[in-house]
Each structure stands twice: as structure tokens, then as C-alpha cells.
Homo-oligomer: A and B are copies of this chain.
Amino acid sequence: MANIAYPKGFIAGGGHVGIKKAKRDLTLIASEIPAVAAGCFTKNIVKAAPVIYDQNIINTGDKVRGIIINSGNANACTGESGMRDTLTMASEFAVLLNASPGEIFVCSTGVIGVPLPIEKISKGISAVFKSMGNSEAHGEKAVEGIMTTDTFMKTAIADIIIGDKVVHLAGMSKGSGMIHPDMATMLAFITTDAAINRMLLQEALSTCVDKTFNMISVDGDTSTNDTILILANGMAKNAVINTEGLEYEIFFDALLKVCESLAKDIVRDGEGATKLFEVQISGAISELDARIIARGVASSNLFKAAMFGADANWGRALCAMGYSGGKFDPAKVNMSFISLGGTLEVMRNGNPLTFSEDVAKKILSEREIIIKITLGDGQFSARAWGCDLTYDYVKINADYRS
């Protein structure tokens, strides 16, 4: 397991303060020294108080010291108490860190519309703070503290060389309501000891999020709480990355790798999911069309249900492409299903091909499936990820609050 406190100068910890019945529900991440920060947030009109609070910090451009995250309660749709409780969380962690509240990000995830039991956080934070450290065990507790319906820990790391310095990146994420991610909270945190200009850090993060977290999403980041934050404290002592040259590319590629790993883990852990599938679109007339079409297929309920049943109902994929809003010529579509079980070509130049149902079943019974779709319209491509729609998705979501 990768550890969020792996880069130089970071510590982390997680504990149980009583928001959930028994599992860890409070996570703290801190940098020894102030770090530059970048963030991407939900586009939902209804924003949880911590999202509004964090966006304000990003807008100031100030350096930050840490992040406090609770799970079990999203502090969303909580009226006037929402911002008050968010400020309390920031203030209490700031006091312990000897920082100011404006140097602390706050994130919440869990049930919507129930006031946060802030007194439990106030009472329990000090013990969690005292337990912080930078070992693997600390990282494990930190990731446990942000989980809700997640069934496994989602973490990733990357090491790169910039100049003559080793630079480290680490990330962790939570989220598993990925059948319709636009309604489920996704949180991701990335730490790095890279020295990098704040504007470039934001540009790198925004681009990576567009290619990864936003491609497991129907309408972008649209729950009330979705937040992705990165802290870069510069303790690797590399020459500060100030322009878009080679060093920036190296950093960007590592960040993309971390983001893609975290995003795919979220799909893999989709509520009730048994399969991960990747939709590959190429030959599109524009990158936007490629993205829209890829996401259309990855988020089709009917196609997802067919994947659960290992049913090669590719007509549903074509149908989803057609209503996605992306432009393409149906008469030029080629489509194949690919897995460890083999390759099944199902459509060539818009015409359906006959195939063996037994072979199809074998290929689609694998746990990871690629749907390769080649359009004949242009040079652009995109990838999107989805999971199958299963009985357990319904079970998990029919009575989430109980």
C-alpha cells in the first residue's frame, strides 16, 4: 500500500472520533513547512460548506499546512451550521499545527443533509493529531479515515528524477458510488515534495483530472463534495519548476499516472461492481467529441447491466454513443471487445458482424474489459472507465442512511 506521507516532510494519521459507529472517521495530513496547493472541485450548484471554504483558500493562492477530512457525514445541505462547523474543523487542526485556519483545507464525505456532530471531532482530534507520523501504518490509518462504502484502500505513488533530485508523489482517494459518479462523493489527496510554481501545479492538476477523474464521471465533478487537492512542499529541493519544459513534463506524467491509478481504483470499487471496463475512442473529429462519446458509453445503465450479464449487447454501446451528444458518422464505426479472454470484433464500417455467443461470453466474463471503438471522422481519441451495474449497487443505495 502506498502511503500519503511518503514524500519528504509530510505526516498523516487517522482515527475514530465517533461519527461512524466503529470505523475510522477522521484523517489529518500535514506538511512540516507551508506548501503550494492546487485543487479541483465539484461543479454542482449545491456545494457543501467545506468545498466553498477550500475554494476560497485556492483563490487566495496562499500556501497551506494541512488537510482535515472526516467521513460518515458530508456536511452538505446542512444550512447555516455547515460553514460554522467547517471553520471549527479548520481552526482546531490549525491550533494543533501552530498554523492559521486559512492554511488548513477541510473535506467531508458521507450522508447528506444531517448536521455534522462537530463536538465529536473537537473531542477526538487531539488524539488523532498525536498519532500522526510518516510510516506505512500511518498512511494506512489515514486512508481508512476517508473511506465510506469503499471496499479497499485506493493509493498510488510515483518517484521521479528532476535535475539531480529524487522527487516523490503519493496519492489516496475514496469513492465507490461510481455507477453515477456525478452524484457520489469522490475525494482525492496528493502530496509531493516537488518544488513547483503554484500556477503550473494547478495547470498540471486540472489537466490530469480532466483525463482521469472526469472520465469516470457523467457530467464532470458534480456531487456536493467532490474535491481533489494537491500539496507540493518543495522539500525535494529540486530547482523550482517554473516553466512548461522537460521537468514539467516529467512531473506531469507522474501526476497523470497517480491520478489514473486512483481514478481506475474508484471505478474498480464501484458500488456493487464486479467488472472494470475501459472505453477507448479513436478517430473522432475533436477531442471533445471523443470525450463525450467515451463517457456516454461508460455511463450507460443499459450497457453497464449488459456487462454484468457478460452479454455482448454492443447495440447498447452504439445507442449510447448516439445520444451522448458527440458527433460521429454511424456508418464508419468499428467496434471490438477485448479482454484476457480474447478479442471479439462486433461491428465494421457500421455493419454488425456475426460472432459466436460462446466466445463473447468467455471474453466478457473477464474482470477487465476494453471496448475499442474506432470512428472514421478524425484524429482525436479519449478513454473513459466504467463498471458494471449489479444487484448489489441497488442494495447498497436503497437504504444508505441505515
On chain B, the residues within 8 Å of A117 by CB distance are none
Complex contact B44–A319 (CB within 8 A): yes
Complex contact A390–B394 (CB within 8 A): yes
On chain B, the residues within 8 Å of A323 by CB distance are 43-45, 182-183, 219, 222-223
- Docked Cα-Cα span, A401 to B390, in Å, equals 17
Complex contact B183–A302 (CB within 8 A): yes
Stretch binding the partner chain, chosen from A107-115, A204-212, A234-242? A107-115
* Known A-B contacts A78-B352, A319-B224; A180 and B300 likewise in contact (beta carbons under 8 Å): yes
Give A321-346 as 1s and 0s: 1 = Cβ < 8 Å from B's Cβ atoms. Answer: 11100011010000000000000000
On chain B, the residues within 8 Å of A302 by CB distance are 177, 180, 183-184, 397
Give A31-64 as 1s and 0s: 1 = Cβ < 8 Å from B's Cβ atoms. Answer: 0000000000001111100000000000000000
On chain B, the residues within 8 Å of A398 by CB distance are 305-306, 308-309, 311, 389-390
- Docked Cα-Cα span, A173 to B311, in Å, equals 27
Chain A's interface size range is: 35 or more
Complex contact B352–A79 (CB within 8 A): yes
Q: Which of B79, B224, B306, B314 contacts A351 (CB 8 A)?
A: B79
Complex contact B394–A300 (CB within 8 A): no
On chain B, the residues within 8 Å of A44 by CB distance are 319, 322-323
Within the complex, the shortest CB–CB distance from A214 to chain B, in Å, comes to: 13
Interface residues of A (CB under 8 A from B): 43-47, 74, 76-80, 111-115, 177, 179-180, 182-184, 219, 222-224, 300-303, 305-306, 308-309, 311, 313-316, 318-323, 327-328, 330, 347, 350-352, 389-391, 393-395, 397-402
